[in-house]
């Protein structure tokens, strides 16, 4: 009897899990995001009668962004659901990243997406870290593609004397970004100095100095 009940419970759980997975797929032609509506793990659908071609259109990735006023010499122009409401529920988005000579898109991760970049111009040094600490890196050129797995730390650097740019594609309408430096040293409330000092094997005074370079997030 106990074995039968166990089999029944496992069957019910498997069916429930399969149903939950299946329901993540679209159940209608489209679901344009209502950016002014309530947000619960995403956006509700806009009234179909209010949908326009502009909901599926965005010109923001066409031109290079200004990198002159950025601390790292790189600028990211997002093409996510907040810029293209028609992406809602489609599980995809794009960005453009522009790099000044010597520019860097510092180590960061995307918790909700893998990323593939296509080099529009220039030459980059790119790479990611596995959970075992192995660095997978390569110099890539115009026309090349490089892929960063979901939720792994990665970076792009322009070590050259000319600008560079890429188009990045994500398998999420809102991939999210968590940068190492600002997350650790600009947290709000702040992470205690002694904790970070022990984690990095340095004195608390060093941590305080680094924190001065990363204003606390609001």
Whether 139 has a binding-site annotation, put simply, is: no
Residue indicated by tokens 């965005």: 58
Task: Give the Cα separation of 167 and 72 in Å (integer).
Answer: 18
Nearest to 206 by CA among 182, 186, 189, 185: 185
Strands (E), 122-206: 123-129, 135-141, 145-148, 154-157, 164-170, 178-179
Contact by Cβ (8 Å): 94, 168: yes
Whether 141 has a binding-site annotation, put simply, is: no
Whether 110 has a binding-site annotation, put simply, is: yes
Binding-site annotation: residue ranges for oxalate: 105, 110, 115
Binding-site annotation: residue ranges: 105, 108, 110, 115, 154
Binding-site annotation: residue ranges for Mn(2+): 108, 110, 115, 154
């Amino acid at each position: 009897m106990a074995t039968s009940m166990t089999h029944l419970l496992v069957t019910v759980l498997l069916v429930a899990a399969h149903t939950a997975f299946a329901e993540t797929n679209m159940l209608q032609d489209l679901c344009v995001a209502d950016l002014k509506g309530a947000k619960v793990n995403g956006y509700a659908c806009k009234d179909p009668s209010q949908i326009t071609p502009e909901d599926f259109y965005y010109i923001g990735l066409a031109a290079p962004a200004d990198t002159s006023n950025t601390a790292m010499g790189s600028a990211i122009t997002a093409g996510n659901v907040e810029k293209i409401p028609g992406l809602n529920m489609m599980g995809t988005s794009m960005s453009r990243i522009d790099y000044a000579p010597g520019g860097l898109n510092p180590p960061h991760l995307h918790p909700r997406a893998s990323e593939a970049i296509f080099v529009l111009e220039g030459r980059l040094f790119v790479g990611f870290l596995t959970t075992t600490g192995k660095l997978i890196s390569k110099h890539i050129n115009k026309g090349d593609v490089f892929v960063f797995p979901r939720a792994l730390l990665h970076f792009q650097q322009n070590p050259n004397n000319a600008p560079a740019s890429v188009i990045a594609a994500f398998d999420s309408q809102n991939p999210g970004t968590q940068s190492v430096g600002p997350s650790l040293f600009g947290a709000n409330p702040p992470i205690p100095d002694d904790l970070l000092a022990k984690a990095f094997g340095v004195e608390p005074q060093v941590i305080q100095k680094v924190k001065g370079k990363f204003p606390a997030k609001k």
